[in-house]
Amino acid sequence: MADAVDRWAEQLAAWAIPEHILATAVESPWVLPQGVFTRRVDRHLAAPATPTHRAVLAGLPGSVLDVGAGAGAASLPCAEAITHVTAVDTSAGLLAEFGRRAEALSLPFRVVEGRWPGVDVEPADVVVCAHVLYNAPDLEPFVTALTAHARRKVVVELAEAHPLTTLNPLWRHFHRLERPTGPTADDAVAALRELGLDPAVERWHKAAEPEYAHFDELVDVTRRRLCLPAERAGEVAEALRGLGVDEGTPPDLGSSGRDVVTLSWDR
């Protein structure tokens, strides 16, 4: 029987889009809705600390390394206790948004464009990594590098269930395709323990907040994620309404989800 780390990789591999569907896509289904990330960090900057922020703050004051930083939702709300922050991300656009917000907070920062762990960055007192683990099938080097770069603490945030599961009814509706249901945060915990770590686990729920400025934005991103052409946007909108999506607070289906888990461990 496969061990927990192998099962993690196998379950993530099962999310590959079948070639016969991918071949019909006019636009890339791997959509990065930048506005979702910028709205998220701005909400966090104006709101009370989440369990993830509290876990980061517990390892400060000091420096922070934010892996898969996006626009900074996991680190910048802790700015008052941060002496320097380094942000790593594959998106130059999101790193630019991170930099603008760090400057506005008068926070010394560095941005590094690249994919973890293949980047050259200095260790920090706290390493935080939010909503990236489901994109890390090769978990051992990914997590080993997180731990090796932390002087005091590692904090990881992820959705309770694989975020793409929210799109499963739509894949069934439009393509008659059954999609995977794993891995989950529990699978991540099992894999981390197999790697010799003993993470503290805190489960929490995010309030429903609009992640898109308009319902039409959600429709467009969802359509592309499903490999559907623009002329089927109306069908996608109807399907989303059928799932009970609130047009006033459109969530980013396929992103982080509202049931969240914060994992942390000491260096």
3-state helix, strand, coil in the chain (%, to 5): 40, 20, 40
Closest CA to 138 of 220, 195, 73, 97: 195
56 vs 81: CA distance, rounded Å: 10
Residue pair 12/187 in contact by the 8 Å Cβ criterion: no
**Interval 224-244 mean pLDDT:** 96
**Interval 125-136 mean pLDDT:** 97
pLDDT above 70 (res 2) = no
- The residues that bridge with 128 in the sheet, in sequence order, are 66, 155
* pLDDT for res 113: 98
* pLDDT for res 254: 75
Q: What is the pLDDT of residues 161-197, one digit of tens each?
A: 999 999 999 999 999 999 999 999 999 999 999 999 9
**Interval 11-15 mean pLDDT:** 97
Residue pair 138/5 in contact by the 8 Å Cβ criterion: no
Per-residue tokens: 231 = 């002329």
Closest CA to 95 of 75, 80, 118: 75
Residue 110 pLDDT class (50, 70, 90 cuts): very high
Which is it for strands 124-130 and 62-67: parallel, antiparallel or unpaired?
parallel
Which of 6-10, 29-33, 62-66, 231-235 is predicted least confidently? Answer: 29-33
Work out the percent of the chain whose per-residue pLDDT is above 70.
99
Dihedral class, residue 186 (left if φ above 0, else alpha if ψ from -120 to 50, else beta): alpha
Q: What is the pLDDT of residues 227-236, one digit of tens each?
A: 999 999 999 9
Q: What predicted TM-score, i.e. pTM, was given to this entire model? A: 0.94
Per-residue tokens: 223 = 């359509």
Q: What is the pLDDT of residues 27-56, one digit of tens each?
A: 999 887 888 899 999 999 999 899 999 999
pLDDT above 50 (res 1) = no
Q: How far is CA 169 from CA 181, 192, 246, 254, in A?
A: 11, 30, 16, 12
Tell me how far the alpha carbon of residue 241 is from its chain's centroid: 25
Residue 256 pLDDT class (50, 70, 90 cuts): low
Q: Which domains does the chain have, with CATH numbers?
A: 4-210+257-266 (3.40.50.150)
Tell me 62's DSSP state: E
